Amino acid sequence: MNNRRKLVIALGAGALAAPFTLFAQQQGKVWRLGYLDFGTRQSMVDSGRHAALIEGLRERGYIEGKNIVIDARYADSDARRMGEITAELVQENVDLILALGAVEAQPAQRATTRIPIVVVTTTDPVGNGFAATLARPGGNITGMSSGVEDTAQKLVELLIVAVPKLKRIAVLTRSTNVAHPRLLQQIQAAARKAGKQVLQLDSHTPEEIERRFATMVRERVDAAIIPPDPFLFSRRTQIAGLALKHRLPTICPYPEYTEAGGLMNYGSDRNDNFRRAGIFVDKILKGEKPGDIPFEQPTRYYFVINRRTANALGVKLNNELLARADRVIE
């Protein structure tokens, strides 16, 4: 073998080994993971999401306080703080930003094109401008997508099964939520296909939520959909109470709504998404570019019915609905 060929082989072997050598050198490093959440720290803990995240990181070899530090920032349901807490994480030069959803990912995307971003769940990453395609996002954002069309169809379908005489559905939205326009379009399409009407009602304050429920009664709405949104989630007890007061069946994305007194929830298992977020974090910290990591669909969906609420509303739960439920709150 001539000297030139030996050199080429040596260089090639060195290039192949470089990423592994680099990671080996960084194994002693303490990584800094930034976390963005429109809600509160208490909600993150009480819901089990924090424990699920820690578990998912541990499964990949990342131990909080040992080789990874989580710098969590919460907006406490104040939209004005989102830009501020995002800028803080960028200034802290964290290695990666984990965003709860679209509301958190959008300001992170505006704030940095350098720091990788993983979004725990979003209904429409392409429509929201987070990815060129699901298979190849192309930018600095990747994560999990719940599938806007499937989600919308399922919400409408389950309401129709629960309320057979349903004619008109209200959708409580927020104009500041980048995911809501696309989700609303899909809900409208699913409702139209089933011969149902949709009334959109935008709400940004607790007082507006109360007025919107009064509007639902006045407009003879038969049921309501509460889409994913951090502010609406923070007002779940108020929403469930108003729905009971006005005898309106509701379907929401998260089980915390149903536990607070809502009729039903259907959506991806967020705790499972937080566990799986560890896979994305691990890939990126080992050198993969987020733009090359496909968005993935959640592997678990969760359907919960509150039988107490059904009885209070006079909703008769048929066997079909009960058989599909993962959990029935008695």
324 shares a domain with 236: yes
Task: Please tell me the least confidently modeled range out of 20-24, 83-87, 318-322.
Answer: 20-24
**DSSP summary character for residue 292:** G
* Residue 47 pLDDT class (50, 70, 90 cuts): confident
Residue 25 CA to residue 220 CA, distance in Å, equals 65
Kindly state the helix (H) or strand (E) to which residue 81 belongs, with its residue range.
none
| Residue 124 shares a structural domain with residue 138 | yes
CB atoms within 10 A of CB 90: 16
**Residue 275: which pLDDT band, with cuts at 50, 70 and 90?**
very high
Which one has a higher pLDDT value, 147 or 153? 153
Question: What is the structure's pLDDT at 10?
Answer: 37
The 10s digit of each residue's pLDDT in 149-167 is: 678 889 999 999 999 999 9
Are residues 309 and 263 in contact, defined by beta-carbon separation less than 8 angstroms?
yes
What is the helix (H) or strand (E) element at residue 144, kind and residue range? strand 141-145
Number of domains in the chain: 2
Rounded to an integer, what distance in angstroms lies between the CA atom of residue 119 and that of residue 107? 12
Evaluate the CA torsion angle 79, 84, 89, 90 in order and state its sign.
positive
Distances (CA, A) of 137 to 117, 141, 183, 215, 237: 11, 7, 20, 41, 37
CA proximity to 49, closest of 226, 273, 286, 201: 273
Q: In a 10 Å sphere around its CB, with 0-12 CB exposed, 13-18 middle and 19+ buried, how is residue 138 labelled?
A: middle
Q: Are residues 295 and 232 in the same domain?
A: no
pLDDT value of residue 13: 40
Domain membership of residue 311 as a residue range? 148-268+302-329
Q: In this structure, what CATH number is given to the domain that contains residue 175?
A: 3.40.50.2300
Give mean pLDDT, residues 236-257. Answer: 94
pLDDT the model gives residue 9: 36
Q: How sure is the predictor about 228, in pLDDT bands with cuts at 50, 70 and 90?
A: confident
- Check whether residue 121 and residue 215 sit in a common domain: no
Do residues 260 and 221 share a domain? yes
Judge whether 189 and 136 are in contact, CB under 8 Å. no
- Do 175 and 261 lie in a common domain? yes
pLDDT of residue 301: 85
Give the per-residue pLDDT at 148.
Answer: 62
Residues 20, 123, single domain; the answer is yes
Segments of 75-139 assigned E as strands: 96-99, 117-122
Whole-number pLDDT of residue 26: 56
Looking at the structure, tell me whether residues 61 and 174 fall in a common domain: no
Least confident piece of the model among 12-26, 64-78, 277-291, 292-306: 12-26
Kindly state whether residues 166 and 307 are assigned to the same domain.
yes
When pLDDT is averaged across residues 15-41 and rounded to a whole number, the result is 68
Asked if 197 and 311 sit in the same domain, the reply is yes
Q: Rg of the Cα trace of the chain?
A: 22
Element spanning 199, H or E? strand 197-202
Would you tell me how many other CB atoms lie within 10 Å of the CB of residue 309?
A: 21
CB 76 within 8 A of CB 39: yes
Q: What is the mean pLDDT of residues 56-64?
A: 96
Percentage of the chain modeled with pLDDT above 70: 91
The segment with the largest mean pLDDT, out of 51-65, 116-130, 147-161, is 51-65
Q: Which amino acid is at 70?
A: I
Are residues 214 and 176 part of one domain? Answer: yes
Can you tell me the distance from the alpha carbon of 139 to that of 89, in angstroms, rounded to the nearest whole number?
Answer: 19
Average pLDDT over residues 68-75: 96
Q: Is the pLDDT of residue 12 over 50?
A: no
Residue 22 is predicted with a pLDDT of 40
Note whether 276 and 237 are same-domain residues: no
Which pLDDT value is given to residue 4? 42
The least confident of 152-166, 173-187, 251-265 is 173-187
Q: Cβ distance 310 to 317 under 8 Å? A: yes
Average pLDDT, rounded, for the chain: 88
